[in-house]
């Protein structure tokens, strides 16, 4: 159940996004990350001069948090 009036996060496919578009987005993200200007999981740290390793660690942590949240949701709706 999505709380606080915030709609539940639906998958891109469910929203009716075509696969080709999804792939295009992924390509764009990869290219940006390779050029070192990926805006994924960066937040404000970009301006604080966090090196690449720090950034990757941040992304890892964010991914973990997201997975944790998904697990919690599963347990709740059990």
Mean predicted confidence (pLDDT) in 39-66: 65
Q: What pTM does this model have?
A: 0.27
**Nearest to 32, CA basis, from 21, 40, 24:** 40
CB under 8 Å to 77, separation ≥6 — which residues?
1
- In the prediction, which pLDDT does 1 show? 55
Token digits of residue 52: 């690449």
Question: Backbone phi, then psi, for 36, in 5-degree steps?
Answer: 75, 20
* Whether pLDDT at 52 is above 70: no
């Amino acid at each position: 159940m999505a709380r606080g009036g915030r709609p539940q996060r639906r998958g891109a496919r469910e929203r009716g996004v075509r696969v080709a578009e999804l792939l295009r987005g992924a390509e764009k993200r990869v290219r940006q990350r390779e050029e070192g200007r990926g805006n994924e999981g960066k937040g404000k740290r970009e301006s604080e001069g966090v090196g690449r390793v720090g950034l990757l660690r941040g992304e890892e942590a964010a991914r973990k948090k997201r997975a944790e949240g998904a697990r919690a949701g599963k347990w709740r709706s059990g």
